[in-house]
Every structure is written in C-alpha cells, then in structure tokens.
Amino acid sequence: MENSTTANSTTTANSTTTANSTTTANSTTTASATAISQRDAAKLTVNLIASTPNAKAITFTAIRRCYSGLDGDKLFVEAKNKVDSDNGRLFNLVYNENHLSTFEHILFTFTIDGLSRAALAQLTRHRIGFSYSVQSQRYVRNTTSSKNGGFKFSVPDLDAEKQSIISATNKVCQEAYDKLVELGAKPEDARSVIPQDATTSLVLSCNLRALLDFCGKRTKAKGAQSEISALSDEMMRLVIEKEPWIGELGRG
C-alpha cells in the first residue's frame, strides 16, 4: 500500500443507535438509563484512508492482459489513455462472467471505529482478501478512569425499555471490569465480563473482489444483521465515491 493515496473521506453511518436517537426513542425511559445510553453509545464511523492509484486503469490492464498480445508496459499506457472511453462495457463483461481475479489488484484501506465485538466476529469470518488490525483488549485498559473513559457500546435500535435493560447491563459490566482491574487483574482477564456490544476500532484493508463478495453477502436484503450491513453499505459508499465506475458494475 506504499503508493496509495489518501481519500480524505470521513463519514458516519446512520443506522446505528446514536446518543441522540437513544434519548428521543421513548419518553418512558428512566432518567438514569437515558444518562447511561448517552454516555455509552458509540457511533459506527468509517473512513477510507487509502486506495490504489490508477485503480480503473490497472483493472482495465488486468482484463486486457488476458486477451492482448501487447507487452505489459504498453498495455498499461494504452489502458490509461483508453479507459475512460470504455464506458464500463468490458468491466461489466468480466463482472457478469465472474472473471473476478482481475479485480484483485485494487486495494482499499479503511479505519473503523464504534463496531461492536459481535459485529467484529461476523466481519472477521471473511478470510480471503481481507487484512485486519484490531485494537487489543489485552493491552488497552478501558476502565472508567482511563483516558478512554471506559467502553463504548453499540446499542441496537430497540425501543427505550429494551435499550434501558441493555444500558443497565453494560453499566454493571463496566463496573465489574473496573473493580477487577482495581483488584489487580490484567485487562486481558478483566475483559471476561465485557459484553458483545462493547465496541472496538480497527484498520481493515481489502481488495476489490473481496469487498464485492463481502458486500454481496452482508446486505440487509440477504438477511444480514443491521450493524454489519450498515458497515458494508458505508464501505461500498465510500469506495464508489472514490471510484464511481465500481458503482456501475453489474448494471451493463
């Protein structure tokens, strides 16, 4: 990824529960539970921090490599000159034929914050073409008195009564974690009491083929859970913003 460019795209997915939506969800929420939700609620935030330069021309070169007698350097120069006049015909041809190894040369790197450990478990099932670097619960101390101020939680989009049950449980778990660390437990042992909705941060890199495969599987339309589909939608939105031709795949 040494040659990658910075996309400078910063965005926040809307489908996770935010502090604001938590407070307005239901007027029957108790004052203390509302306060807990406001304090603890995490926002899923995704940034596209780098991507392969000349992505379209490189993919075009890879596709044409399969059918051209030209030397590689000439092929790439020609691809850079011709790629914008192709109008996606060739891209759609290989996409529809599943000739998808040609999409593996393009890499994207994201930072992700505010993803629950439950969704992380779903995400990291995607093994092929994905690289992950995840914040350690062994080494990062998340006590209430630490500079992080304790764990943040990805509270599902439920009614206020259900959210208050989750928030109260999160509070008890945080207190147990704090107590264990105070008694001398290492964070790697104290984390045993932390629930699955505690959020984490990671850096994720993936190639275009792997991203398309991931987004195809983790769409709400195919029964994926809301948090992972919000992540997948946001990753694809950022990629299409950077490389609009990718949004045209499958439409020709």
Ligand X SMILES: Cc1cc2nc3c(=O)[nH]c(=O)nc-3n(C[C@H](O)[C@H](O)[C@H](O)COP(=O)(O)OP(=O)(O)OC[C@H]3O[C@@H](n4cnc5c(N)ncnc54)[C@H](O)[C@@H]3O)c2cc1C
Q: Minimal CA–CA distance to 113: which of 58, 53, 159, 45?
A: 45
| CA 93/CA 105 separation, integer angstroms | 18
**Least distance to ligand X, CB of residue 127, Å:** 3
Q: How far apart (Å, rounded) are the C-alpha atoms in residues 50 and 206?
A: 11
Is residue 65 annotated as part of the catalytic site, yes or no?
Answer: no
Q: Is the CB of 29 or the CB of 229 nearer to ligand X?
A: 229
**Which of 178, 197, 213, 234 touches ligand X (CB under 6 A)?**
213
Please enumerate in sequence order all residues whose Cβ is within 8 A of that of 8, keeping only pairs 6 or more positions apart, or say none: none
Residues 76-135 that bind ligand X (CB under 6 A): 125-128
The minimum distance between CB 104 and ligand X, in angstroms, equals 12
| Identity of the residue, 184 or 223, whose beta carbon is nearer to ligand X in the bound complex | 223
Picking from 227, 231, 196, 192, the residue whose alpha carbon sits closest to that of residue 211 is: 231
Active-site residue (options: 65, 117, 218, 237): 218
Nearer to ligand X, 64 or 218 (CB): 218
Q: Which of 218, 232, 236, 239 binds ligand X (CB under 6 A)?
A: 218
Least separation in angstroms between CB 129 and ligand X: 6
Distance CA 26, CA 43 (A): 20
Closer CB to ligand X, residue 69 or residue 223? Answer: 223
Q: How far is the CB of 217 from ligand X (least distance, A)?
A: 4
Is residue 194 a contact partner of residue 140, using CB atoms and an 8 Å limit?
Answer: no
Among positions 43, 65, 80, 217, the unique one binding ligand X when judged by CB under 6 A: 217
Q: Are strands 107-116 and 199-207 parallel, antiparallel or unpaired?
A: antiparallel
Rounded CA separation 194/135 (Å): 15
Euclidean distance between CA atoms 239 and 225, whole angstroms = 21
Residue 144 to residue 235: CA distance in whole angstroms: 31
Residues numbered 1-40 forming contacts with ligand X, rule: CB under 6 A: none
> With binding defined as CB under 6 A, does residue 207 bind ligand X?
no
- For ligand X, which is the closer residue by CB, 130 or 245? 130
In the 8-state DSSP scheme, what is residue 171? H
Positions marked catalytic = 218
Q: Which residues bind ligand X (CB under 6 A)?
A: 125-128, 213, 217-218, 222-224
